Copies of this chain bind each other. A is one copy, B any other.
């Protein structure tokens, strides 16, 4: 696996690969990799000739008080995991190269960024869209993959790619869970064992919503009430939102007569967690 830290070098390597007719697959990450990330690597590997993974903890997608500096990092561990997946290229840029003095350009995806996490993390999706646009121009992939765990992010990126005519195919990766059902996240490392147990209520509550849907209920308000009350029953877990949205457009829906995502965010201890489940979609 070749490690690249410089932007110009990455662009030149990608140009060379394209000249050779190679298809580049790209997995952007913030590192501290888990099986969720590795599942994205495996999926994109099947679609391309060369896999590029980036690790960059992007400061502009963290709000004030969101503790960018505390975000977990483990470069050596990440490298070993990616070697294990036979990744071709690892791109780890410096923040000072990505955002040099005088930096002032931002990409806004105005509608899909609203609501859900957008309401609780102002500026977050602007930071995400901007850094992904930059990474696309640096890595020049043919295909890029984003996990459905960050469902709103996936749709922000898809919309940006379509709107700005990036010639890149965006592939979704299914949400990967621990054996007990907890959605995999680098942030889970912040949870104490006690909090980790309480946090299981998130997935269990989403499952209650899905069960109710599968037993025939179609009213979003009733499905949401079931999820909300289930989460409320657990001490130490504070729900930020739970909503049902169209899987394609993220528009609010009242009756689930097409595939939808039940998405939520909650605070457990001092840790903000997100999770979601898709209903009405053939798996």
Q: Which residues of A contact B (CB under 8 A)?
A: 7, 11, 15, 18-19, 21, 102-112, 129-130, 133-134, 137-138, 140, 159-160, 163-167, 249
Partner of A166, one of B15, B21, B109, B137: B137
Chain B residues near A105: list those with CB within 8 A: 107-110, 129, 159-160, 163-164
Chain B residues near A108: list those with CB within 8 A: 105-108
CB distance from A178 to the nearest CB of B (A): 35
The answer to whether A165 and B7 have CB atoms under 8 Å apart is yes
CB distance from A137 to the nearest CB of B (A): 4
**Given A18-B18, A19-B21, A108-B108: A103 in contact with B163 (beta carbons within 8 A):** yes
Chain B residues near A102: list those with CB within 8 A: 111, 159, 249
**Could you list 13 further interchain pairs (A-B, Cβ under 8 angstroms) beyond the known A104-B111, A137-B166, A138-B167?**
A7-B165, A19-B21, A102-B249, A105-B129, A105-B164, A106-B108, A107-B108, A130-B164, A133-B164, A134-B165, A137-B164, A137-B165, A140-B167
Q: Which of A137, A160, A249 has its CB near the most chain B CB atoms (within 10 A)?
A: A137
The answer to whether A11 and B167 have CB atoms under 8 Å apart is yes
Chain B residues near A160: list those with CB within 8 A: 105
- Show 25 residue pairs from A and B whose CB-CB distance is below 8 angstroms, ordered by the A residue: A7-B165, A18-B18, A19-B21, A102-B111, A104-B109, A104-B111, A104-B159, A105-B107, A105-B108, A105-B110, A105-B129, A105-B159, A105-B163, A105-B164, A106-B108, A106-B110, A107-B107, A107-B108, A107-B164, A108-B108, A134-B163, A137-B165, A137-B167, A138-B165, A138-B167
CB distance from A18 to the nearest CB of B (A): 7
